[in-house]
Structure 1
Amino acid sequence: MSAEKAPAVDETGELGNRVLFGDNLPMLQELPDESITLIYVDPPFNTGRTQARQQTTAVRSAEQGLGTVSGFKGLNYERIRGQLRSYDDSFDDYWGFLEPRLVEAWRLLTDDGTLYVHLDYREAHYAKVLLDALFGRDSFLNEIIWAYDYGAKSKNRWPTKHDTILVYVKNPKTYYFDSTTVDREPYMAPGLVTPAKAKKGKLPTDVWWHTIVSPTGKEKTGYPTQKPMGILRRIIQASSREGDLVLDFFAGSGTTGAVAAKLKRRFLLMDQNPEAITVMRSRLPESTVYVGVPDELQSEGNG
C-alpha cells in the first residue's frame, strides 16, 4: 500500500492508537465529522518567510458545513483572508498550506472539543485573526504563552524566548475543560500565601514557565522540533477525559501520542517524515498500529 493512499480508517472503523504516514490533508478529509475531542497541532513555523506550497482552497461550501463564517468584527472568512493577503505577500504561501487543515480540524472536533494551535511570534497574529473567522470570536478560549529560558540570546533586542498556543473550542457553551485535573505548580511568591496553599501549589495561568526538552535529558529523542511532555500533559489533562480521542496531524516525535497513552487517552497521529516514524516507534506503546508506512520503515516491535 502506498503512503499517499493510506486510509485514515481501516475496515474496523477504529481510529485510536494509530500512526498514519503521508500527507495529512487527504487523511484528515477521510475522518468522520465530530470524531475528535482534542486536537493539538504544532505546524512547521514559517521561519523562512517563504514556503513552496501548493495552493489549496480552504473554505468549504455552506452545504458542507463551513461556509463564510462570520467572525472578526462581523466580517466573513474570505474577506479577512483577502485583507491579510494584502498585508504580507508570504501569507498565501504559508497559510495556503495551513488553512485547509484548520478547516478540517473544525469539522472533526466534537461539540465539546478543543483545538490547540502551537505557533511562534511570526505567525501567531495571522492565526488569531483567521481562527476568529473560522471558529467565531466567541470560540476563542485562551492565548497561552509558553515561556522558556534556554539557548542563545540576542544583544540588540529583547531575546525571543516564548511560543504562542492559541486555544479555540468548537462550541463555547458545551466545551470540556477541567483544570482541577492539571498538575499544579509552585507559587512564585510562596510567602504571600498560607503554608497549606504553598504546599499544594497553584493552578497554571495562561503563562506557562516550562523548560524546553533538555539536550542531555532522558526525554530527548534527537528530533529537532520535539516539545516537552509537560506541555502536552497539561493540555491533554485539561481538555480531554480518559478514553477520549486526541489528534495531532503534525506529530513529529510523537510527544502527543506518548503523553495521551500515559493518561489513558486514545491517540491518532499523522506525519510524512520517515524520521518521525522511526522516533515514534521508540516511544509509543507496542500495540500502536502504523498505517501506510513504507516497507523500509516497517519494523518488528518498537525497538
Structure 2
Amino acid sequence: MPTVWSPSSPSRVVHADNLEILPGLPGGAFTLIYLDPPFNTGRKQNRQSTTSVRSNAPVDSDALGAHAAGTITGFKGQRYERIKGDLLGYDDQFEDYWAFLEPRLIEAWRLLADDGTLYLHLDYREAHYAKVLLDALFGRDCFLNELIWAYDYGAKSKNRWPTKHDTILVYVKNPAAYYFDSTTVDREPYMAPGLVTPEKVARGKLPTDVWWHTIVSPTGKEKTGYPTQKPVGILRRMIQASSREGDWVLDFFAGSGTTGAVAAALGRRFLLVDQNPESIAVMRERFAPLSEVEFLGPTIAIV
C-alpha cells in the first residue's frame, strides 16, 4: 500500500475508505484521535453509507496484552470474544455495526502514541456496548472518562424523557504516561456565581465531565451545511487538554472537518480521512485559507 502520510508530511485530508488507509499509517504516530462514526440509529442518514471488510493488518498481541493488564490476550483473546458473543446474543442489530467499527477501533489503538488519547463520540444507542468492548480492547485501566455533551435542541418527546445528549468515551493508550493538561482548557462561567469569590467568577471554572454546549446553529457563521457537524467548542476542549502544539491529531470520520479546523487554530497538525465526496467538498472550502493543507484524492499517493 502506498504511503499517504508520514510524520514529516503537512496536514492532510485524504479522500478514501478509512480502512484502506489506516493499516498503512505508522503505529504510535498520533497524540489524539477523535472519532465520530455514523450512529447506529436504524434511520437513514444523510451521508454516504460505508461497507468494508475487516483489515488483515497484524496486531502485536504481546504488546497489547501488556497494556491491557491481563484483561485480554490480544484483540482476539478469549475473553474479548466471549464479551462480544454475549453482546451479539443480546442485540441482533449489534453485529453489522460492530463488524464495521471494530477493525477501525483496533487500528485506532495501534495508531495512538504511548501518551495518546482516544475520544469516541457516540449516542445512547451504542455507548453502553462501546464501553464494554473498549474495556476489553484497551484494558479497563485505560478508561479515562465518560463525557456527556448535553444540549437542548430538536423534537420534544412526550412519551419518554427527551434524549438531549451524546456520549464521548475517553480511553488512553498507556494509563501511566498519557498527556492531559486541564490548565489549557477554556474555562466556563459558574452556574452559581454568588457562591464563589469575585476572583473565581472572573477566572471561570474548569469544565467537568458534563458539557453543556449548544449544537451548531443552523443560521450561525460556524455552519458548513454538512449533516452531523459538531461544534468547534466541543472539539476545542478535547484538543486543548489532550495534545500539545505541534502534535498530530487524527480523525478518520472527518465529516465537515471540525477536528482539523480546531487543530490548525490551536497549532496542531492533522490528518483527516473521509470517503464521502460531500465531506471532501465541504473541507476544501473550509480549509481554503490554509495554504499548508494538502488534499489527496482516491488515486493519489504522496509520501
Q: Same fold (TM over 0.5)?
A: yes
1:17 — aligned with what? 11
Q: What does the per-residue CA deviation read over 1:215-256, in whole Å, with 9 as the maximum and x for residues that have no partner?
A: 000000000010000000000000000000000000000000
- Contact preservation (8 Å) 2:23, 2:55: no
Residue identity opposite 2:86 in structure 1: Q
RMSD value over aligned CA atoms?
A: 2.4
Unaligned runs of 5+ in 1: 296-303
Q: Hey, what's the Cα distance between the residues in 2 that align with 1:55 and 1:271?
A: 16
Aligned residues: 288
Unaligned runs of 5+ in 2: none
Do structure 1's residue 250 and structure 2's residue 253 form an aligned pair? yes
- Give runs of aligned pairs for residues 1-303 of structure 1, distance below 5 A: 7-9=3-5, 14-48=8-42, 53-54=51-52, 56=54, 62=60, 65-66=63-64, 70-71=70-71, 76-284=79-287, 285-293=290-298
Q: Deviations over 1:258-298 (max 9, x none)?
A: 00000000000000000111110121223211112579xxx
Alpha-carbon distance in structure 2 between the residues aligned to 1:21 and 1:165: 25
Distance 2:183 2:110 in 1: 28
CA contact (8 A) 1:148 1:162 kept: yes
Q: Equivalents in 2 of 1:197, 1:97: separation in Å?
A: 46
CA contact (8 A) 1:16 1:245 kept: no
SS in structure 2 of the partner of residue 199 of structure 1: helix
SS of the residue corresponding to residue 177 of structure 2 reads coil
Q: Deviations over 1:189-230 (max 9, x none)?
A: 001101110111000000000000000000000000100000
Deviation of 1:80 (Å): 1.1
Alpha carbons of 1:203 and 1:14: their partners in 2 closer, same or farther (altered >3 Å)? same
Give 1:52 deviation, angstroms: 8.0
In the TM superposition, residue 82 of structure 1 has moved relative to its aligned partner by 1.3
Give the fraction of aligned pairs with identical amino acids, expressed as a percent.
Answer: 71
Give CA deviations for 1:63-89 in whole Å, capped at 9, x if unaligned.
5854695439x9722221111111111
What is the alpha-carbon distance in structure 1 between the residues aligned to residue 139 and residue 56 of structure 2? 16
- CA distance in 1 between partners of 2:279 and 2:50 (Å): 21
Q: Which moved more, 1:63-72 or 1:80-89?
A: 63-72
Offset from partner CA, 1:171-197 (integer Å, 9 cap, x none) = 000000000000000000001101110
Counterparts of 1:194 and 1:160, CA distance in 2 = 35
- Mapped to 1, the partners of 2:94 and 2:56 lie a distance apart of 13
> 1: CA distance between counterparts of 2:218 and 2:59?
46
Q: Distance in 2 between matches of 1:219 and 1:66?
A: 40
How far off is 1:150 after superposition?
Answer: 1.1
